[in-house]
A and B are shown apart, each in its own frame.
Chain A
Amino acid sequence: MTLALENLHFNYPGAGAGVRDISLEIRDGELLAVIGPSGCGKSTILKLIAGFLMPHQGVIRIGDQDVSSVPPRKRDLGIVFQNYALFPHMSIAENIGYPLKLRNVPTAEAWPRIREALEMVGLAHLADRPPRSLSGGQQQRVALARALVFRPRALLLDEPLSALDAAMRGEMRDEILRLQRLYGIATLHITHDQEEALSMANRVAVMREGRVLQVDTPEALYARPVNRAVATFVGHANLMDGEVLAENRVRTPLGDLACARHAFSAGAGVSVLIRPEAIRPVAAADGVNRFAGTVTRNRFLGSLRRFDFALSGGAKLMVEVDHQVAPPPAIELPPEALLVIASSS
Protein backbone atom coordinates (compact mmCIF):
# COMPACT_ATOMS: atom_id res chain seq x y z
CA MET A 1 0.00 0.00 0.00
CA THR A 2 1.39 3.41 -0.92
CA LEU A 3 2.38 5.78 1.89
CA ALA A 4 2.21 9.44 0.96
CA LEU A 5 3.05 12.68 2.74
CA GLU A 6 1.68 15.88 1.25
CA ASN A 7 3.05 19.28 2.31
CA LEU A 8 3.60 18.16 5.86
CA HIS A 9 4.44 20.85 8.39
CA PHE A 10 5.22 20.47 12.08
CA ASN A 11 6.92 22.63 14.71
CA TYR A 12 7.78 21.55 18.23
CA PRO A 13 6.13 23.88 20.75
CA GLY A 14 8.63 26.46 21.97
CA ALA A 15 11.33 25.34 19.55
CA GLY A 16 12.19 26.24 16.00
CA ALA A 17 12.94 22.66 15.05
CA GLY A 18 10.43 20.59 13.12
CA VAL A 19 9.72 19.82 9.49
CA ARG A 20 8.48 22.04 6.69
CA ASP A 21 6.73 21.32 3.48
CA ILE A 22 7.53 17.61 3.37
CA SER A 23 6.12 15.74 0.39
CA LEU A 24 7.18 12.14 -0.09
CA GLU A 25 5.68 9.02 -1.60
CA ILE A 26 6.69 5.48 -0.76
CA ARG A 27 5.27 3.01 -3.22
CA ASP A 28 4.17 -0.51 -2.43
CA GLY A 29 7.25 -2.70 -2.03
CA GLU A 30 9.61 0.29 -2.07
CA LEU A 31 12.15 1.08 0.62
CA LEU A 32 12.73 4.80 1.02
CA ALA A 33 15.55 5.86 3.31
CA VAL A 34 15.58 9.27 4.94
CA ILE A 35 19.03 10.50 5.87
CA GLY A 36 20.39 13.70 7.30
CA PRO A 37 22.40 15.06 10.21
CA SER A 38 21.10 14.92 13.80
CA GLY A 39 18.20 17.28 14.37
CA CYS A 40 17.32 17.57 10.68
CA GLY A 41 13.78 16.29 11.30
CA LYS A 42 13.99 12.73 10.00
CA SER A 43 12.72 11.17 13.24
CA THR A 44 9.96 13.76 13.35
CA ILE A 45 8.73 12.46 9.99
CA LEU A 46 8.53 8.94 11.39
CA LYS A 47 6.65 10.16 14.49
CA LEU A 48 4.20 12.06 12.29
CA ILE A 49 3.55 9.02 10.11
CA ALA A 50 3.22 6.77 13.18
CA GLY A 51 0.76 9.22 14.75
CA PHE A 52 2.89 10.04 17.81
CA LEU A 53 2.86 13.65 16.60
CA MET A 54 0.06 15.49 14.81
CA PRO A 55 1.01 17.61 11.79
CA HIS A 56 0.14 21.29 11.93
CA GLN A 57 -0.46 21.24 8.19
CA GLY A 58 -0.52 18.66 5.45
CA VAL A 59 -1.89 15.22 4.85
CA ILE A 60 -0.64 11.69 5.52
CA ARG A 61 -2.18 8.99 3.35
CA ILE A 62 -1.93 5.24 3.59
CA GLY A 63 -3.39 3.90 0.38
CA ASP A 64 -6.41 6.09 -0.24
CA GLN A 65 -7.09 6.81 3.42
CA ASP A 66 -6.19 10.15 5.01
CA VAL A 67 -4.79 9.07 8.39
CA SER A 68 -3.57 12.49 9.53
CA SER A 69 -5.90 12.50 12.53
CA VAL A 70 -6.20 8.73 13.03
CA PRO A 71 -4.71 7.52 16.38
CA PRO A 72 -1.52 5.45 16.12
CA ARG A 73 -3.24 2.21 17.16
CA LYS A 74 -5.59 2.41 14.19
CA ARG A 75 -2.99 3.16 11.52
CA ASP A 76 -1.86 -0.47 11.12
CA LEU A 77 1.79 0.41 10.78
CA GLY A 78 4.63 -1.88 11.79
CA ILE A 79 7.36 0.04 13.61
CA VAL A 80 10.84 -1.17 14.49
CA PHE A 81 12.42 1.03 17.13
CA GLN A 82 16.09 1.86 17.56
CA ASN A 83 16.34 0.06 20.92
CA TYR A 84 13.91 -2.70 19.90
CA ALA A 85 11.20 -1.80 22.51
CA LEU A 86 10.48 -5.46 23.24
CA PHE A 87 8.25 -6.02 26.27
CA PRO A 88 10.61 -7.36 28.94
CA HIS A 89 8.01 -9.34 30.88
CA MET A 90 6.83 -11.27 27.79
CA SER A 91 8.56 -14.16 26.07
CA ILE A 92 9.71 -13.85 22.47
CA ALA A 93 6.59 -15.66 21.25
CA GLU A 94 4.35 -13.50 23.42
CA ASN A 95 6.00 -10.36 22.08
CA ILE A 96 5.38 -11.46 18.51
CA GLY A 97 1.86 -12.61 19.32
CA TYR A 98 0.87 -9.40 21.11
CA PRO A 99 -0.50 -7.56 18.04
CA LEU A 100 -2.52 -10.67 17.14
CA LYS A 101 -3.89 -10.85 20.69
CA LEU A 102 -4.94 -7.19 20.42
CA ARG A 103 -6.76 -8.04 17.21
CA ASN A 104 -8.53 -10.97 18.90
CA VAL A 105 -7.04 -13.45 16.46
CA PRO A 106 -8.09 -16.92 17.75
CA THR A 107 -5.28 -18.92 19.31
CA ALA A 108 -5.62 -21.65 16.69
CA GLU A 109 -4.86 -19.11 14.00
CA ALA A 110 -2.41 -16.99 15.98
CA TRP A 111 0.07 -19.72 16.90
CA PRO A 112 0.83 -20.83 13.34
CA ARG A 113 1.40 -17.19 12.43
CA ILE A 114 3.69 -16.66 15.42
CA ARG A 115 5.61 -19.83 14.52
CA GLU A 116 5.87 -18.74 10.91
CA ALA A 117 7.18 -15.31 11.97
CA LEU A 118 9.69 -16.94 14.33
CA GLU A 119 10.90 -19.28 11.60
CA MET A 120 11.13 -16.43 9.16
CA VAL A 121 13.63 -14.66 11.41
CA GLY A 122 15.36 -17.91 12.40
CA LEU A 123 14.43 -17.79 16.08
CA ALA A 124 11.89 -20.60 16.41
CA HIS A 125 14.12 -22.35 18.96
CA LEU A 126 14.05 -19.30 21.24
CA ALA A 127 10.28 -18.82 21.38
CA ASP A 128 9.98 -19.20 25.15
CA ARG A 129 13.02 -17.13 26.08
CA PRO A 130 12.72 -13.63 27.56
CA PRO A 131 14.03 -10.80 25.35
CA ARG A 132 16.91 -9.94 27.69
CA SER A 133 18.51 -13.32 27.05
CA LEU A 134 18.93 -12.54 23.33
CA SER A 135 21.73 -10.68 21.57
CA GLY A 136 21.09 -7.27 20.03
CA GLY A 137 20.75 -8.75 16.56
CA GLN A 138 18.31 -11.41 17.76
CA GLN A 139 16.24 -8.82 19.60
CA GLN A 140 16.09 -6.73 16.45
CA ARG A 141 14.87 -9.78 14.53
CA VAL A 142 12.11 -10.27 17.09
CA ALA A 143 11.16 -6.60 16.79
CA LEU A 144 11.00 -7.03 13.01
CA ALA A 145 8.87 -10.18 13.28
CA ARG A 146 6.53 -8.43 15.72
CA ALA A 147 6.18 -5.47 13.38
CA LEU A 148 5.31 -7.70 10.42
CA VAL A 149 3.23 -10.51 11.96
CA PHE A 150 -0.04 -8.59 11.80
CA ARG A 151 0.50 -7.72 8.12
CA PRO A 152 0.74 -3.95 8.51
CA ARG A 153 -0.01 -1.51 5.71
CA ALA A 154 3.52 -0.06 5.84
CA LEU A 155 6.72 -0.56 7.78
CA LEU A 156 8.62 2.19 9.62
CA LEU A 157 12.23 1.57 10.66
CA ASP A 158 13.65 4.04 13.18
CA GLU A 159 17.44 3.72 13.02
CA PRO A 160 17.06 -0.03 13.47
CA LEU A 161 20.74 -0.86 13.14
CA SER A 162 22.37 1.92 15.13
CA ALA A 163 22.54 -0.09 18.38
CA LEU A 164 24.32 -3.01 16.68
CA ASP A 165 28.03 -3.58 16.12
CA ALA A 166 29.47 -3.26 12.62
CA ALA A 167 29.45 -7.00 11.81
CA MET A 168 25.87 -7.45 12.97
CA ARG A 169 24.76 -4.34 11.08
CA GLY A 170 25.78 -5.87 7.76
CA GLU A 171 23.94 -9.09 8.53
CA MET A 172 20.80 -7.24 9.67
CA ARG A 173 20.79 -5.04 6.57
CA ASP A 174 20.42 -8.16 4.45
CA GLU A 175 17.82 -9.59 6.82
CA ILE A 176 15.67 -6.46 6.76
CA LEU A 177 15.90 -6.27 2.97
CA ARG A 178 14.98 -9.95 2.60
CA LEU A 179 11.88 -9.58 4.77
CA GLN A 180 10.90 -6.26 3.21
CA ARG A 181 11.06 -7.81 -0.25
CA LEU A 182 9.25 -10.94 0.96
CA TYR A 183 6.35 -8.88 2.31
CA GLY A 184 6.51 -6.39 -0.56
CA ILE A 185 5.65 -3.65 1.88
CA ALA A 186 6.16 0.12 1.61
CA THR A 187 8.99 0.89 4.04
CA LEU A 188 10.36 4.10 5.48
CA HIS A 189 13.85 3.72 6.86
CA ILE A 190 15.20 6.52 9.07
CA THR A 191 18.96 6.48 9.45
CA HIS A 192 21.92 8.79 9.91
CA ASP A 193 24.20 6.23 8.24
CA GLN A 194 24.54 7.14 4.56
CA GLU A 195 26.20 3.83 3.70
CA GLU A 196 23.23 1.98 5.18
CA ALA A 197 20.79 4.16 3.26
CA LEU A 198 22.64 3.94 -0.07
CA SER A 199 23.05 0.17 0.16
CA MET A 200 19.50 -0.68 1.20
CA ALA A 201 17.11 1.85 -0.27
CA ASN A 202 15.38 2.02 -3.63
CA ARG A 203 15.34 5.78 -3.15
CA VAL A 204 16.92 8.09 -0.61
CA ALA A 205 15.63 11.41 0.74
CA VAL A 206 18.27 13.78 2.08
CA MET A 207 17.07 16.17 4.78
CA ARG A 208 18.52 19.24 6.35
CA GLU A 209 17.00 21.77 8.74
CA GLY A 210 13.52 20.30 8.48
CA ARG A 211 13.36 20.19 4.68
CA VAL A 212 13.85 17.48 2.09
CA LEU A 213 16.65 18.61 -0.20
CA GLN A 214 16.57 15.79 -2.74
CA VAL A 215 14.84 12.45 -3.27
CA ASP A 216 16.49 10.15 -5.74
CA THR A 217 17.97 6.73 -6.34
CA PRO A 218 21.23 6.13 -4.46
CA GLU A 219 23.17 6.21 -7.73
CA ALA A 220 21.62 9.50 -8.88
CA LEU A 221 22.01 11.06 -5.47
CA TYR A 222 25.72 10.30 -5.51
CA ALA A 223 26.33 11.15 -9.13
CA ARG A 224 24.06 14.18 -9.44
CA PRO A 225 23.50 15.91 -6.09
CA VAL A 226 21.34 19.01 -6.52
CA ASN A 227 23.36 21.21 -4.23
CA ARG A 228 26.36 21.53 -1.98
CA ALA A 229 24.55 20.27 1.15
CA VAL A 230 23.55 17.00 -0.52
CA ALA A 231 26.99 16.54 -2.06
CA THR A 232 28.59 17.06 1.35
CA PHE A 233 26.32 14.63 3.14
CA VAL A 234 26.38 11.83 0.59
CA GLY A 235 29.82 10.32 0.10
CA HIS A 236 33.18 12.07 0.10
CA ALA A 237 33.36 15.22 -1.95
CA ASN A 238 35.85 17.85 -3.11
CA LEU A 239 33.88 21.09 -3.25
CA MET A 240 34.97 24.51 -4.40
CA ASP A 241 33.23 27.84 -4.83
CA GLY A 242 32.96 28.83 -8.48
CA GLU A 243 31.63 31.32 -10.99
CA VAL A 244 30.12 30.17 -14.24
CA LEU A 245 32.01 31.31 -17.33
CA ALA A 246 30.20 29.25 -19.94
CA GLU A 247 28.08 26.11 -20.21
CA ASN A 248 31.17 23.97 -19.87
CA ARG A 249 33.63 26.30 -18.11
CA VAL A 250 33.83 27.51 -14.56
CA ARG A 251 36.19 29.77 -12.63
CA THR A 252 37.49 28.27 -9.36
CA PRO A 253 40.27 28.96 -6.85
CA LEU A 254 42.29 26.41 -8.88
CA GLY A 255 41.84 28.46 -12.04
CA ASP A 256 39.45 28.30 -14.99
CA LEU A 257 38.37 24.68 -15.44
CA ALA A 258 36.59 22.72 -18.12
CA CYS A 259 33.55 21.05 -16.58
CA ALA A 260 30.51 18.93 -17.43
CA ARG A 261 27.69 20.79 -19.19
CA HIS A 262 25.24 22.50 -16.85
CA ALA A 263 22.20 24.77 -16.88
CA PHE A 264 23.55 27.73 -14.88
CA SER A 265 23.90 31.07 -16.60
CA ALA A 266 27.21 32.87 -16.98
CA GLY A 267 28.25 34.86 -13.92
CA ALA A 268 26.24 32.70 -11.50
CA GLY A 269 27.88 31.77 -8.19
CA VAL A 270 27.99 28.00 -7.91
CA SER A 271 29.70 25.13 -6.20
CA VAL A 272 32.01 22.82 -8.13
CA LEU A 273 32.10 19.15 -7.15
CA ILE A 274 34.42 16.33 -7.99
CA ARG A 275 34.37 12.99 -6.20
CA PRO A 276 37.74 11.72 -4.89
CA GLU A 277 37.65 8.56 -7.03
CA ALA A 278 36.98 10.59 -10.19
CA ILE A 279 40.35 12.37 -9.94
CA ARG A 280 43.02 10.67 -12.06
CA PRO A 281 46.67 10.38 -11.08
CA VAL A 282 48.85 11.43 -14.01
CA ALA A 283 52.58 11.65 -14.71
CA ALA A 284 52.72 15.37 -15.47
CA ALA A 285 50.60 18.52 -15.28
CA ASP A 286 50.58 19.03 -19.04
CA GLY A 287 46.96 19.21 -20.21
CA VAL A 288 43.42 20.36 -19.46
CA ASN A 289 42.52 20.43 -15.76
CA ARG A 290 45.88 18.97 -14.77
CA PHE A 291 47.77 20.12 -11.70
CA ALA A 292 51.12 19.32 -10.11
CA GLY A 293 51.41 18.92 -6.38
CA THR A 294 52.47 16.68 -3.55
CA VAL A 295 50.81 13.99 -1.52
CA THR A 296 50.60 15.20 2.10
CA ARG A 297 48.70 12.26 3.55
CA ASN A 298 48.58 8.72 2.24
CA ARG A 299 46.00 6.41 3.84
CA PHE A 300 45.78 2.72 3.02
CA LEU A 301 42.11 1.64 3.24
CA GLY A 302 42.24 -1.96 2.02
CA SER A 303 41.10 -2.06 -1.58
CA LEU A 304 41.83 1.62 -2.09
CA ARG A 305 44.24 4.33 -1.06
CA ARG A 306 43.21 7.88 -0.09
CA PHE A 307 45.59 10.78 -0.68
CA ASP A 308 45.47 14.38 0.43
CA PHE A 309 46.93 16.09 -2.63
CA ALA A 310 48.27 19.61 -2.01
CA LEU A 311 48.38 21.74 -5.16
CA SER A 312 51.10 24.30 -5.67
CA GLY A 313 48.57 27.13 -5.07
CA GLY A 314 47.84 25.78 -1.59
CA ALA A 315 44.48 24.10 -2.32
CA LYS A 316 44.09 20.52 -1.13
CA LEU A 317 42.05 17.78 -2.81
CA MET A 318 41.09 14.31 -1.62
CA VAL A 319 42.02 11.61 -4.15
CA GLU A 320 41.06 7.94 -4.06
CA VAL A 321 42.91 5.42 -6.19
CA ASP A 322 43.49 1.68 -6.35
CA HIS A 323 45.60 0.59 -3.39
CA GLN A 324 48.47 -0.39 -5.71
CA VAL A 325 48.85 3.11 -7.19
CA ALA A 326 51.88 5.03 -5.96
CA PRO A 327 51.62 8.69 -4.89
CA PRO A 328 51.52 10.65 -8.20
CA PRO A 329 53.34 13.88 -9.05
CA ALA A 330 50.22 15.34 -10.71
CA ILE A 331 46.47 14.86 -11.00
CA GLU A 332 43.79 15.43 -13.59
CA LEU A 333 40.22 16.57 -12.91
CA PRO A 334 38.34 15.03 -15.85
CA PRO A 335 35.90 17.66 -17.19
CA GLU A 336 33.01 15.18 -17.38
CA ALA A 337 33.43 14.43 -13.64
CA LEU A 338 33.59 18.08 -12.62
CA LEU A 339 29.99 18.95 -11.71
CA VAL A 340 28.58 22.42 -11.34
CA ILE A 341 25.87 22.45 -8.63
CA ALA A 342 23.91 25.00 -6.63
CA SER A 343 25.70 26.49 -3.66
CA SER A 344 22.64 26.45 -1.40
CA SER A 345 19.24 24.78 -1.20
Chain B
Amino acid sequence: MSGVSLSGRPTGIGSAVLALYAVYLVVPMALILIGSFGNAWSNTLLPVGVTGRWYETLATNAAFQKAFWTSLWVCFATVIVSVLIGAPLAYAVATAKSPGMAMLGRIIYLTPVAAPAVVLGFGYMLAFSTETLPFLGAGWLTVAAHTVVCLPYLLQTLVADLKLQGIEQLEQAAESLGAPFHRRFLDIVLPGLVHSIASAAILVAALSIGEFQLTNLIAGFLHRTYPIVLLQAFYGASGFACAATVVLLTLALISAVAGAMVARKATFSGVVTA
Protein backbone atom coordinates (compact mmCIF):
# COMPACT_ATOMS: atom_id res chain seq x y z
CA MET B 1 0.00 0.00 0.00
CA SER B 2 1.33 3.40 -0.90
CA GLY B 3 2.07 5.83 1.87
CA VAL B 4 1.01 8.79 -0.22
CA SER B 5 -2.45 9.39 -1.72
CA LEU B 6 -3.02 10.49 -5.30
CA SER B 7 -3.58 14.02 -4.07
CA GLY B 8 -0.09 13.94 -2.62
CA ARG B 9 -1.32 13.79 1.00
CA PRO B 10 0.45 11.28 3.25
CA THR B 11 -1.82 8.47 4.37
CA GLY B 12 -1.58 5.48 6.69
CA ILE B 13 1.96 4.18 6.86
CA GLY B 14 3.20 7.38 5.29
CA SER B 15 1.77 9.49 8.11
CA ALA B 16 3.25 7.19 10.74
CA VAL B 17 6.70 7.32 9.16
CA LEU B 18 6.45 11.08 8.87
CA ALA B 19 5.44 11.40 12.55
CA LEU B 20 8.30 9.12 13.66
CA TYR B 21 10.78 11.10 11.63
CA ALA B 22 9.49 14.36 13.09
CA VAL B 23 9.93 12.97 16.62
CA TYR B 24 13.43 11.74 15.74
CA LEU B 25 14.28 15.19 14.39
CA VAL B 26 12.65 17.34 17.04
CA VAL B 27 13.34 15.45 20.29
CA PRO B 28 17.15 15.98 20.36
CA MET B 29 16.72 19.66 19.55
CA ALA B 30 14.01 20.04 22.20
CA LEU B 31 16.22 18.33 24.79
CA ILE B 32 19.13 20.62 23.96
CA LEU B 33 16.87 23.64 24.30
CA ILE B 34 15.49 22.43 27.63
CA GLY B 35 18.99 21.53 28.81
CA SER B 36 20.25 25.02 28.03
CA PHE B 37 17.86 26.39 30.69
CA GLY B 38 18.46 23.57 33.18
CA ASN B 39 20.35 24.28 36.36
CA ALA B 40 21.86 20.81 36.65
CA TRP B 41 21.56 17.70 34.51
CA SER B 42 23.09 14.45 35.56
CA ASN B 43 21.61 10.93 35.45
CA THR B 44 18.04 12.24 34.98
CA LEU B 45 15.76 12.22 31.96
CA LEU B 46 15.35 15.99 32.14
CA PRO B 47 17.47 18.68 33.85
CA VAL B 48 16.71 19.89 37.33
CA GLY B 49 15.95 23.58 38.04
CA VAL B 50 15.67 26.54 35.67
CA THR B 51 18.38 29.10 34.98
CA GLY B 52 19.60 31.54 32.36
CA ARG B 53 23.17 31.59 33.61
CA TRP B 54 24.56 29.39 30.84
CA TYR B 55 23.64 32.03 28.29
CA GLU B 56 25.15 34.73 30.50
CA THR B 57 28.37 32.73 30.74
CA LEU B 58 28.34 32.20 26.99
CA ALA B 59 27.83 35.92 26.33
CA THR B 60 30.85 36.83 28.42
CA ASN B 61 33.10 34.05 27.16
CA ALA B 62 35.72 35.69 24.93
CA ALA B 63 36.64 32.48 23.12
CA PHE B 64 33.02 31.82 22.13
CA GLN B 65 32.44 35.42 21.13
CA LYS B 66 35.51 35.41 18.91
CA ALA B 67 34.54 32.07 17.40
CA PHE B 68 31.02 33.33 16.76
CA TRP B 69 32.26 36.33 14.79
CA THR B 70 34.90 34.23 13.02
CA SER B 71 32.18 31.82 11.92
CA LEU B 72 30.11 34.71 10.64
CA TRP B 73 32.86 36.31 8.54
CA VAL B 74 34.11 32.94 7.27
CA CYS B 75 30.54 32.12 6.30
CA PHE B 76 30.02 35.50 4.61
CA ALA B 77 33.29 35.26 2.70
CA THR B 78 32.54 31.66 1.69
CA VAL B 79 29.18 32.70 0.30
CA ILE B 80 30.69 35.58 -1.70
CA VAL B 81 33.57 33.53 -3.09
CA SER B 82 31.30 30.55 -3.87
CA VAL B 83 28.86 32.72 -5.82
CA LEU B 84 31.65 34.55 -7.67
CA ILE B 85 33.22 31.26 -8.72
CA GLY B 86 30.02 29.23 -8.91
CA ALA B 87 27.90 31.34 -11.25
CA PRO B 88 30.37 31.40 -14.17
CA LEU B 89 31.36 27.77 -13.52
CA ALA B 90 27.73 26.63 -13.51
CA TYR B 91 27.18 28.51 -16.76
CA ALA B 92 30.25 26.85 -18.30
CA VAL B 93 29.08 23.39 -17.27
CA ALA B 94 25.45 23.95 -18.29
CA THR B 95 26.36 25.30 -21.73
CA ALA B 96 29.35 23.04 -22.49
CA LYS B 97 29.09 22.02 -26.14
CA SER B 98 30.99 18.78 -25.70
CA PRO B 99 29.43 16.10 -23.47
CA GLY B 100 32.97 15.12 -22.45
CA MET B 101 33.72 18.63 -21.17
CA ALA B 102 30.43 18.74 -19.27
CA MET B 103 31.24 15.39 -17.67
CA LEU B 104 34.77 16.52 -16.75
CA GLY B 105 33.34 19.69 -15.17
CA ARG B 106 30.90 17.62 -13.15
CA ILE B 107 33.59 15.24 -11.92
CA ILE B 108 35.83 18.11 -10.87
CA TYR B 109 33.18 19.97 -8.96
CA LEU B 110 31.61 16.89 -7.39
CA THR B 111 34.91 15.45 -6.17
CA PRO B 112 34.76 17.35 -2.85
CA VAL B 113 31.43 15.63 -2.13
CA ALA B 114 32.83 12.19 -2.86
CA ALA B 115 36.12 12.68 -0.98
CA PRO B 116 35.80 12.51 2.84
CA ALA B 117 36.47 15.86 4.55
CA VAL B 118 39.29 14.28 6.52
CA VAL B 119 41.07 13.44 3.25
CA LEU B 120 40.73 17.02 2.02
CA GLY B 121 41.86 18.32 5.41
CA PHE B 122 44.92 16.07 5.43
CA GLY B 123 45.76 17.27 1.92
CA TYR B 124 45.50 20.89 3.07
CA MET B 125 47.73 20.12 6.06
CA LEU B 126 50.38 18.60 3.84
CA ALA B 127 50.21 21.35 1.24
CA PHE B 128 50.06 24.40 3.49
CA SER B 129 52.35 23.51 6.37
CA THR B 130 55.51 23.68 4.31
CA GLU B 131 58.07 26.47 4.30
CA THR B 132 57.07 27.34 0.75
CA LEU B 133 53.36 27.58 1.61
CA PRO B 134 53.17 28.30 5.35
CA PHE B 135 49.48 29.17 5.39
CA LEU B 136 47.96 26.51 7.65
CA GLY B 137 45.80 28.30 10.20
CA ALA B 138 45.23 31.38 8.04
CA GLY B 139 41.67 32.66 7.94
CA TRP B 140 41.57 32.83 4.16
CA LEU B 141 42.58 29.16 3.97
CA THR B 142 39.51 28.27 6.03
CA VAL B 143 37.41 30.29 3.62
CA ALA B 144 39.03 28.51 0.65
CA ALA B 145 38.42 25.11 2.25
CA HIS B 146 34.78 25.93 3.02
CA THR B 147 34.36 27.11 -0.58
CA VAL B 148 35.67 23.80 -1.91
CA VAL B 149 33.27 21.89 0.33
CA CYS B 150 30.23 24.08 -0.37
CA LEU B 151 30.71 24.79 -4.09
CA PRO B 152 29.28 21.46 -5.32
CA TYR B 153 25.95 22.17 -3.64
CA LEU B 154 25.76 25.65 -5.12
CA LEU B 155 26.73 24.35 -8.54
CA GLN B 156 24.17 21.55 -8.44
CA THR B 157 21.43 24.10 -7.81
CA LEU B 158 22.61 26.57 -10.45
CA VAL B 159 23.33 24.01 -13.18
CA ALA B 160 19.93 22.38 -12.65
CA ASP B 161 18.21 25.78 -12.82
CA LEU B 162 20.06 26.80 -15.98
CA LYS B 163 19.07 23.57 -17.69
CA LEU B 164 15.50 23.88 -16.49
CA GLN B 165 15.28 27.37 -17.97
CA GLY B 166 16.61 26.12 -21.33
CA ILE B 167 19.44 28.63 -21.10
CA GLU B 168 20.96 27.55 -24.40
CA GLN B 169 17.89 28.56 -26.36
CA LEU B 170 17.37 31.75 -24.35
CA GLU B 171 20.94 32.70 -25.18
CA GLN B 172 20.44 31.85 -28.83
CA ALA B 173 17.36 34.04 -28.84
CA ALA B 174 19.29 36.91 -27.24
CA GLU B 175 22.18 36.41 -29.63
CA SER B 176 19.89 36.46 -32.64
CA LEU B 177 18.43 39.71 -31.34
CA GLY B 178 21.92 41.23 -31.33
CA ALA B 179 23.34 40.53 -27.86
CA PRO B 180 27.10 39.95 -27.54
CA PHE B 181 28.36 37.50 -24.89
CA HIS B 182 28.69 39.96 -22.00
CA ARG B 183 25.16 41.30 -22.59
CA ARG B 184 23.74 37.79 -22.72
CA PHE B 185 25.46 36.90 -19.45
CA LEU B 186 24.44 40.11 -17.67
CA ASP B 187 20.96 40.55 -19.20
CA ILE B 188 19.77 36.96 -19.50
CA VAL B 189 21.86 34.44 -17.55
CA LEU B 190 22.42 36.25 -14.25
CA PRO B 191 18.91 37.74 -13.80
CA GLY B 192 17.48 34.30 -14.51
CA LEU B 193 19.62 32.86 -11.74
CA VAL B 194 18.84 35.43 -9.05
CA HIS B 195 16.51 33.23 -7.03
CA SER B 196 18.54 30.06 -7.29
CA ILE B 197 21.72 31.97 -6.40
CA ALA B 198 19.94 33.33 -3.33
CA SER B 199 18.67 29.94 -2.17
CA ALA B 200 21.98 28.21 -2.97
CA ALA B 201 23.88 30.95 -1.13
CA ILE B 202 21.82 30.30 1.99
CA LEU B 203 22.52 26.59 1.66
CA VAL B 204 26.22 27.44 1.43
CA ALA B 205 25.88 29.64 4.52
CA ALA B 206 24.23 26.84 6.49
CA LEU B 207 26.93 24.35 5.44
CA SER B 208 29.73 26.78 6.25
CA ILE B 209 28.32 27.68 9.67
CA GLY B 210 28.16 24.02 10.69
CA GLU B 211 31.37 22.77 9.01
CA PHE B 212 33.52 20.96 11.56
CA GLN B 213 35.62 18.10 10.16
CA LEU B 214 37.74 20.03 7.69
CA THR B 215 37.93 23.21 9.76
CA ASN B 216 39.11 21.26 12.80
CA LEU B 217 42.15 20.11 10.83
CA ILE B 218 43.16 23.37 9.20
CA ALA B 219 41.93 26.28 11.34
CA GLY B 220 44.63 27.79 13.52
CA PHE B 221 44.15 28.99 17.09
CA LEU B 222 43.41 32.53 15.90
CA HIS B 223 40.69 31.55 13.49
CA ARG B 224 38.72 28.83 15.24
CA THR B 225 35.11 28.75 14.13
CA TYR B 226 32.13 28.25 16.40
CA PRO B 227 31.73 24.46 15.93
CA ILE B 228 35.41 23.95 16.87
CA VAL B 229 35.04 25.89 20.12
CA LEU B 230 31.71 24.20 20.77
CA LEU B 231 33.47 20.84 20.97
CA GLN B 232 35.34 22.07 24.05
CA ALA B 233 32.05 22.96 25.72
CA PHE B 234 31.01 19.32 25.58
CA TYR B 235 33.72 18.52 28.13
CA GLY B 236 32.28 21.02 30.65
CA ALA B 237 28.83 21.51 32.19
CA SER B 238 25.91 20.07 30.18
CA GLY B 239 23.89 23.27 30.49
CA PHE B 240 26.70 25.36 29.02
CA ALA B 241 27.20 22.87 26.15
CA CYS B 242 23.46 22.96 25.45
CA ALA B 243 23.35 26.79 25.44
CA ALA B 244 26.36 26.94 23.10
CA THR B 245 24.69 24.39 20.82
CA VAL B 246 21.42 26.34 20.79
CA VAL B 247 23.29 29.35 19.38
CA LEU B 248 24.66 27.24 16.53
CA LEU B 249 21.27 25.64 16.01
CA THR B 250 19.62 29.06 15.81
CA LEU B 251 22.11 30.20 13.16
CA ALA B 252 21.51 27.02 11.15
CA LEU B 253 17.71 27.32 11.47
CA ILE B 254 17.76 30.96 10.38
CA SER B 255 19.71 29.88 7.29
CA ALA B 256 17.36 26.98 6.56
CA VAL B 257 14.17 29.03 6.98
CA ALA B 258 15.55 31.88 4.89
CA GLY B 259 16.56 29.36 2.21
CA ALA B 260 13.12 27.79 2.19
CA MET B 261 11.44 31.19 1.92
CA VAL B 262 13.63 32.24 -0.99
CA ALA B 263 13.04 28.91 -2.75
CA ARG B 264 9.28 29.23 -2.21
CA LYS B 265 9.27 32.77 -3.56
CA ALA B 266 11.29 31.65 -6.55
CA THR B 267 8.91 28.77 -7.22
CA PHE B 268 5.86 31.00 -7.08
CA SER B 269 7.44 33.64 -9.26
CA GLY B 270 8.11 30.89 -11.77
CA VAL B 271 11.72 31.79 -12.39
CA VAL B 272 13.11 28.55 -11.03
CA THR B 273 10.33 26.40 -12.39
CA ALA B 274 9.93 28.15 -15.73
Contact = CB atoms under 8 A, between A and B. Distances in A.
Interface of A: 50-52, 71-79, 81, 83, 85-89, 98-99, 102-103, 130, 132, 146, 150
Interface in B164-186: 165-166, 169-170, 172-180, 183
Contact of B176 (A79, A87, A89, A130): A79
Contacts, number: 65
Contacts of A74: 178
A102 B172 contact: no
B26 to A, nearest CB: 37
Q: Nearest 4 pairs between A and B by C-beta?
A: A85-B173, A99-B177, A102-B178, A88-B274
Contacts of B191: 89
A72 B271 contact: no
B101 to A, nearest CB: 13
Interface residues of B, number: 22
Chain B interface helix/strand/loop/mixed: helix
A85 B270 contact: no
Given A83-B166, A87-B170, A88-B192, A72 B175 contact: yes
Contacts of A81: 169, 172-173
Contacts of A77: 176
A25 B274 CA distance: 37
B104 to A, nearest CB: 17
Contact of B173 (A51, A79, A150): A79
B180 A73 contact: yes
**Interface majority SS (helix, strand, loop, mixed), chain A:** loop
Contacts of A50: 172, 176
A131 B249 CA distance: 41
A85 B175 CA distance: 12
Given A88-B192, A88-B270, A89-B194, A102 B177 contact: yes
Interface in B255-274: 270-271, 274
Contacts of B194: 89
20 contacts: A50-B172, A50-B176, A72-B175, A72-B176, A73-B178, A73-B180, A75-B176, A79-B173, A81-B172, A85-B166, A85-B172, A86-B173, A87-B173, A87-B174, A87-B188, A88-B270, A132-B270, A146-B177, A150-B177, A150-B178
